[in-house]
Structure formats: C-alpha cells, structure tokens
Amino acid sequence: MVAKWPGSCHDSFIFRSSALGRSLEEGVHDTEDGLLLGDSGYALRSYLMTPYIDPVLPWQKRFNRAHKKTRCLVERVIGIWKRRFHVLHSEIRMKPDRVCTIVMACAVLHNIAQERQEPDPEEDDLVELEDGEEHFPEVERDGLTARDYMAQTYFG
C-alpha cells in the first residue's frame, strides 16, 4: 500500500512509480509468480492483465467477466474499509505526512479487524464496476500474447 500520492494521481502512475511496478518492469517475470489485474486505465503487460477493450470471441468475453468479478471483490473490500473508517470518505485536511499516517493506520486496523473476524460494517449497495472506463493506449506485445494465452487456455 502506498499512501503518499494525492488523490488526483492516477493509479497506473502510482503503480509505475512503486518499487513493485519498477521491479516487475525491469525483471524477468514468470506467471508462476502470479499476475496482477488492472482495469483498462493500466497498460497491458505480461504481468498485468487488463480486460479486452472490445471482446468479440466467446473466450474473450468469459475472460472479461472473470476479470470484472475479481476486480469487484477488490472494490468491495475497499468499500468495507471506507465504511469502517469514515475519515476515508472525503478529503482529509491535514499535512500530507499526517494523512499518510492516518491512511496507513486505517489499513493496519482494518487488517487486525479482519484477523479477529470482526463483523464488516453494513453494506449500502453492491459494488458495480463501470464498463466505460478510460482506456490506456500503451500495449506491450508480450502482454497481448500472455492475455490471449491465458484467456484461451482457461476460458476457451
């Protein structure tokens, strides 16, 4: 988790600037190490799977459905976290280093609550992801090959 960037920074910029993003970009990555999922705001890479922009084939559509369901789970967890700590709902008007400390403290406390099996705060609505997300134009050839291989192997 990285809490040092302002909310106006795009997630893909934060990821590329992170130690993990730089490490994956510089090193040789094996799918046995796992894969990351990103929305279409991220560049497709061999280690970072994004959905097909215009899926036509049945296996592409199945891949996109599975991709979306998995991302919905992540968004749901973020929603639970925000309901547990209302300070995360809006702008925190403090010095940036203080805000980083608050956000990280909320993350640690949330993990402790999960470990202790504390009940989640009440859920208002189910999280639904938008289909009309901003698309990232950069595509890595190895990323296309990796995504097609995965989609055909597991969803074909």
What pLDDT, on a 0 to 100 scale, did the predictor assign at position 150? 82
Looking at the chain, the number of H-run helices and the number of E-run strands are: 5, 2
Q: What CA–CA distance (Å, rounded) separates 79 from 82? A: 5
Q: Is 59 helix (H, G, I), strand (E, B) or coil?
A: helix
Local confidence band at 30 (pLDDT 50, 70, 90 cut-offs): low
Residue 149: HSE in the Cβ half-sphere, 13 Å Cα cutoff = 10
Which of these, 148, 1, 137, lies nearest to 63 by C-alpha position?
A: 148
pLDDT at position 115, please? 94
Lowest-confidence segment of 16-20, 75-79, 137-141 by average pLDDT: 137-141
Tens-digit pLDDT profile for residues 91-128: 888 888 888 889 889 999 999 999 999 988 876 544 45
Indicate whether this model's pTM tops 0.85: no
The answer to whether the beta carbons of residues 42 and 136 sit under 8 Å apart is: yes
pLDDT of residue 106: 93
